[in-house]
A = this chain, B = another copy of it.
Amino acid sequence: MEIEPATLGKSRLFARGWSWLKALPARKFKKVVEAAKSIKQLGQDDPRRVIHCLKVGLALTLVSLLYYCKPLYEVFGDTGIWAVLTVVMVLEFTVGATISKGLNRGFATLFAGALAIGTEYFSRLFDRKAEPIVLGVLLFFLATTSSFTRFIPRIKARYDYGVMIFILTFSLVSVSGYRTENLLEMAHHRLSTIAIGGATCIIMSVFVCPVWAGKDLHNLTASNLEKLANYLEGFGGEYFQADPDHEEEGITITASKDDKALLQGYKSVLNSKNTEESLANFARWEPGHGGFHFRHPWNQYLKIGALARQCAHLIEVLDGYINSDIQPPPEIRNKIRESSTKMCLELSQALRALVSSIKTMTDPSAADPHVKCSKTSINDLKIALEAASELENVDLLAIIPIASVASILTEIAKCVERISELVHELSLLAYFKSAATSDQQEPAGSGLHRGSVRPVLDDDSDRTITIIVQATNV
């Protein structure tokens, strides 16, 4: 019975652990529970994360068979370790990132390996003592110049990992080559195990519950526009809702409590630039997938994103007026409530129509009437403001905040109009379905202007081609 002392030790360890846990102050214990909860939340927010982790575990276990299976080990020997290394480094959350890293790694290894072997044979032309000097000088030169290319923005965005692997492989092969006789065989084995590792990663990420960066970018763009729509819809109610019959503050607060979380959603749009850019970079590497073909116009999403951020900046300023100490008197507020609320509603409906068009990948013409209406309500708003200023006993200063709000709303309207134009371009470039063929998800109100729904590739086919040519020239 050899195991008994160990078991005893184990139970003693458990007892100790338990007493340590009990001795923990309640506050610390609470912290641990909270941390555990937030970790659970991470998984619940996006279950694809859990699946990704299982994929990493599975891929690693698979490539470790190169070591565990005797027949495989006899072929590859110790170089099998490079497959393990490749899987850890290459398998990323999205398909695009995995393919990008895999191809970067593959080509960089191939290229650097070939160059290093060439260097090695070149250095062998010199005598044994001069060899390390030649190798060292070449290594220094190559490492310095390739490090510098990592500062070039274009290369940093797409090939940073490749350049790093290039330096890595070149150093490894040229340095270790000095002590290795059968250099070509080693390079061959290493390359094939890296290929096995890379292929495992790419197959795993494309075929087992794939997470497409392109789809994520598409959804992110839609959800960002939706957040702006939420704000605009809420803003009308929030800022103008103070009814002359119920002027108590209490009502404002209860109403705002419900919508607060929804209203604050726009804040995440402000800092979306980096996420969008990296998703677009990864999306370019992805093969076609459900609705997105290989050369899908990913750049167009970046343009829409830039305008969405501009709109979010305007909203950020608008938001300052809700919480401002200086609130306009109710009689002025009432004068312009109708036109402002209508404008906000039209803008948010226009955005919602665009969101639904992006989500269902159908023609975005349903947004056009709302964009048009928001334009006409700019004039209504001006007339209402003029009427407000002609009220008696009204201080001009009291109108300033309202005038500013109106002016910012006008800017937002312009911004939404340009977003709508960009989504129209996107629908042409990405061959969105004509709205007429998909009735199931039509946004409210679009039925009124059925006549304006135009077939995508009919009268506009010339424009389509022009846009595509422009886009590919970029």
A interface, CB within 8 angstroms of B: 38-39, 42-43, 49-50, 52-54, 56-58, 60-61, 64, 67-68, 73, 78, 80-81, 84-85, 88-89, 132, 135-136, 139-141, 143-145, 147-148, 151-152, 164, 167-168, 171-172, 175-176, 178-179, 270-271, 273-274, 309-310, 313-314, 316-317, 320, 382, 385-386, 389, 395-397, 399-401, 403-404, 406-408, 411
Residues of B within 8 A of A144 (CB): 53-54, 56-57
Q: Which residues of B contact A320 (CB under 8 A)?
A: 411
- Flag if B60 contacts A139 (CB, 8 Å): yes
- Which residues on B sit within 8 Å (CB–CB) of A389? 396
Distance of A452 from chain B, by nearest CB (Å)? 27
Q: Identify A140's interface contact among B61, B147, B172, B178, CB under 8 A.
A: B61
Main secondary structure of the interface of A (DSSP, over half): helix
Roughly how many angstroms separate A262 CA and B85 CA in the complex, as a whole number? 48
Q: A49-B148, A403-B403, A404-B404 are in contact. List 20 more A-B contacts (CB 8 A).
A: A42-B151, A52-B147, A53-B145, A57-B139, A57-B144, A60-B171, A61-B136, A67-B178, A68-B132, A81-B172, A85-B172, A88-B171, A271-B271, A310-B316, A317-B408, A320-B411, A385-B400, A386-B396, A400-B407, A403-B404
Closest 6 pairs (CB-CB, A-B): A57-B144, A68-B132, A53-B147, A404-B407, A389-B396, A57-B140
A–B pairs, 9, beta carbons within 8 Å: A38-B152, A53-B147, A60-B139, A60-B167, A67-B176, A84-B168, A84-B175, A270-B313, A386-B397
Point out the residues of chain B lying under 8 angstroms from A148, CB to CB.
39, 42-43, 49-50, 53
Chain B residues with Cβ below 8 Å from A147 are 52-53, 56-57
Q: A85 to B168, Cβ gap below 8 A?
A: yes
Residue of B53, B61, B139, B401 touching A64 (CB-CB under 8 A): B139
Asked if B61 contacts A139 (CB within 8 A), the reply is yes
Once the chains bind, are A401 and B396 in contact (CB under 8 Å)? no
Residue in B151, B176, B309 whose beta carbon sits within 8 Å of that of A81 in the complex: B176
Q: How far is the CA of A141 from the CA of B49 in the complex (A)?
A: 15
Complex formed: what's the CA distance from A408 to B405 in Å? 10
Q: How far apart sit A67 and B173, CA to CA, in the bound complex (Å)?
A: 12
| Known contacts A53-B145, A172-B85; A382 and B397 CB within 8 A of each other | yes
Q: Are B175 and A317 in contact (CB under 8 A)?
A: no
Q: A400 and B406 in contact (CB under 8 A), knowing A136-B64, A175-B84?
A: yes
Q: Which residues of B contact A310 (CB under 8 A)?
A: 316
Contact partners of A271 in chain B: CB under 8 A = 271, 273-274
User: Nearest chain-B residue to A73 (Cβ)?
Assistant: B179
